[in-house]
């Protein structure tokens, strides 16, 4: 599990840094890849695009990300994210590669 945790931390770091550097993107949760502080499931919203629009744009590139309320409908409503169609979710795991994340 230690090896898996280190790998997931390593591959999530560039994505978190990328999202954190863009002023139009708001990450949900901590902006760190530290495996002691978060898992590599990364959610975000864009200030101009709805979450489903982002997923549709990357789907043609065979990038499997999803959007929605993620079974937290009340939280999305209370957070004002209903109009965004929820959040975009990127779920990285041990079988993902750094090249996939960069793509």
User: pLDDT digit of tens for each residue in the chain (103 aa)?
Assistant: 999 999 999 999 999 999 999 999 999 999 999 999 999 999 999 999 999 999 999 999 989 999 999 899 999 999 988 899 999 999 999 999 999 999 8
Q: Is the dihedral of CA 48, 62, 100, 44 positive or negative?
A: positive
Is residue 87 within 8 Å of residue 27, measured between CB atoms? no
* Cα gap 100→20, rounded to integer Å: 19
pLDDT score of 68: 94
pLDDT score of 11: 97
pLDDT score of 84: 92
- The token pair at 42 is 């990364």
Indicate whether this model's pTM tops 0.85.
Answer: yes
């Amino acid at each position: 599990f230690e090896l898996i945790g280190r790998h997931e931390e390593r591959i999530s770091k560039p994505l978190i840094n990328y999202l954190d550097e863009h002023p139009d993107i708001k990450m949900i949760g901590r902006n760190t890849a530290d495996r002691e502080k978060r898992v590599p499931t990364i959610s975000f919203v864009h200030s101009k695009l709805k979450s489903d629009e982002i997923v549709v744009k990357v789907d043609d590139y065979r990038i499997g990300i999803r959007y929605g309320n993620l079974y937290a409908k009340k939280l999305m409503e209370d957070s004002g994210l209903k109009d965004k169609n929820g959040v975009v979710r990127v779920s990285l795991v041990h079988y993902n590669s750094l090249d996939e994340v960069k793509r």
